[in-house]
Structure 1
């Protein structure tokens, strides 16, 4: 059994919150955001490559993404990958770049995306609680091995619970901000 390590627990919980923020950044809100295309993989050179390894993505206008493909022979595959990524984006190919107008979200789609943001937040809370469980088990094991006293274990458990509460609060705040952004409220 691993020994209790507060810094490790903190790092793992913080990682869960950061992963949530990354997942949330990929949700479309009706405004252009380069993170929207982070999940797009393009079938080129005989393998699947992330879009950001083939092109530069920029936001020239609030409701427009511009994709500058470095190798012009890859424009077709990049356009196909964006269309089939399930993002609801329809690239306009002008020969050198792909322009992606960001369409308005329907009310139904907004609700779906808000629900998805909630699901991402729940997954982050579960990950944080799993880290807490590991920490609590390590503390009990340390106490059973007589490496720490009962008082030290209880004090450390209080620290772990406070850290857990703080991280869950951070996850909830990130999700609430994203839901507010998606629903346009």
Structure 2
């Protein structure tokens, strides 16, 4: 192999891992009929004149599988937190108990489960596109090196390495999607 060129597969791997991590956080925000503190992560509260993540104005707990609670630290913020949860589109009706907001997680009906399955599929497709873009970047580096004198055998080797990495990460995405869809459809 050529001494001049070596593709930085560690960088490519790290960037692909980032796409997988983003997919995991998107999947965590999908409501599956079970409570999870991460489902409230995308919610922003208008706190003291600026949007603030909900977990920075109160403590989020999951005392039982079908209940999430938010213990708001500042009593004056309870109404704003409740409003932010109602308007978040999660489909959860908050119940007040002093400074604690209780969020009972309703059962998902069959239609809603199918919709969530489609949303999970869209998240997975976005992750696949990100992986394919990284693959293209890797292939472009190899082609540029070919123009700089990389041998054809070395070019084939590095293209194979990039494709192997891509296939591994696409499989990880498909496996995570399958797991998430099974979790969504579980009654």
CA distance in 1 between partners of 2:146 and 2:13 (Å): 21
Report the CA distance between 1:70 and its aligned residue. Answer: 1.1
Matching of residues 36-75 of structure 1 within 5 Å: 36-75=39-78
Question: Aligned pairs, how many?
Answer: 182
2:186 aligns with: 184
Aligned counterparts of 2:42 and 2:21: Cα–Cα separation in 1:
16
Partner in structure 1 of residue 156 of structure 2? 154
CA distance in 2, matches of 1:167, 1:70: 41
What is the CA deviation profile of residues 97-126 of structure 1, one whole-angstrom value per residue up to 9, with x for unaligned ones? Answer: 001000001111100000000000011001
Gaps of 5+ in 1: none
8 Å contact kept, 1:13–1:167 = yes
How much does 1:135 deviate? 0.3
Provide structure 2 residue ranges, at least 5 long, that are not aligned to the other structure.
Answer: 1-5
- What is residue 86 of structure 2 aligned with on the other side? 83
1:97 to 100, 105, 114: 100
**What is the DSSP-based 3-state SS (H/G/I as helix, E as strand, rest coil) of the residue aligned with 1:66?**
strand
Superposition misfits of 4+ residues, deviation over 3 angstroms: none
Q: Describe the SS at the equivalent of 1:28.
A: coil
Whether the aligned pair in 1 keeps the contact of 2:7 and 2:158 (CA below 8 Å) is no
CA drift at 1:7: 1.3
8 A Cα contact 2:27 2:180, kept in partner: yes
Counterpart for residue 122 of structure 2? 119
Cα shift at 1:4: 3.7
Q: Which has the higher contact order (CA 8 A, sep 6+)?
A: 1
Alpha-carbon contact 2:46-2:80 (below 8 Å) kept? yes
Q: Return the TM-score normalized by structure 2.
A: 0.94
Could you tell me the TM-score, scaled by structure 1's length? 0.95
